[in-house]
Chains A and B, each alone.
Chain A
């Protein structure tokens, strides 16, 4: 089984609809992240969470909200989806090892299309 899972994998919705993307991890990591990727570009950070009680905005948080329901679950919501939020969304996790946060582990992505 995959360590970082995302649901749904694909979603088509209409402008104005509320959408929730979910991420679960079995790695036991404390840090979780949401990124967005547009065609031909690298990933950009939307939100990140150090633990259940700590949520932080990333580079492009406007129009998004998140919820860290448990250490293993981190959800991304689009309260009122708009077409320019059409993108590929990735969840990631990381953990402390030897006092350093090292690699991030990414989920398979959710392809979201807003019509």
Chain B
């Protein structure tokens, strides 16, 4: 499976934008880029995913580099509730073969009030 690299931790202030980077230099042409987050004492929660174009939803935006070797999850206005571990995951579209998500250690996002 293609691997992703994320910083271990990041810190930001409440009500400011947060940019969480992810490197995936060995991404294949069909891999989707997924982001999940895990709040303390909870199961992972889907945030957003994309293939080539930038994506927006109610939770966040995903900016994908033109060569697809990196991406950035953008939280436009962080709140204390956004403090979590954020995982960047590559996934084949059909989920075929060894289906399931491959989690790394993710980025621990700390939000300061």
Chain A contacts to B: CB under 8 angstroms: 4, 31, 33, 35, 40-45, 48, 50, 56, 58-59, 90, 92, 94, 99-109
Set of chain A residues within 8 Å of B46, measured between Cβ atoms = 103-105
How many angstroms between the C-alpha atoms of A40 and B105 in the bound complex?
7
- Asked if A42 contacts B43 (CB within 8 A), the reply is no
How many angstroms between the C-alpha atoms of A35 and B99 in the bound complex?
12
Besides the known contacts A33-B99, A41-B105, A43-B101, 7 further A-B residue pairs in the complex with CB atoms under 8 A apart? A42-B103, A43-B103, A45-B100, A56-B98, A58-B100, A92-B43, A106-B45
Set of chain B residues within 8 Å of A40, measured between Cβ atoms = 105
The B interface is mostly helix, strand or loop, or mixed, namely loop
Given known A42-B87, A100-B94, contact A106–B100 (CB-CB < 8 A):
no
- Asked if A42 contacts B99 (CB within 8 A), the reply is no
- Asked if A56 contacts B87 (CB within 8 A), the reply is no
Set of chain B residues within 8 Å of A106, measured between Cβ atoms = 43-45
Set of chain A residues within 8 Å of B34, measured between Cβ atoms = 103
- Asked if A101 contacts B103 (CB within 8 A), the reply is no
Closest to B44 in A: A106
How many angstroms between the C-alpha atoms of A103 and B91 in the bound complex?
10
Closest to B104 in A: A42
Which residue of the partner chain, among B44, B87, B106, contacts A90 with CB atoms under 8 Å? B44
How many angstroms between the C-alpha atoms of A50 and B101 in the bound complex?
14
- Asked if B43 contacts A94 (CB within 8 A), the reply is no
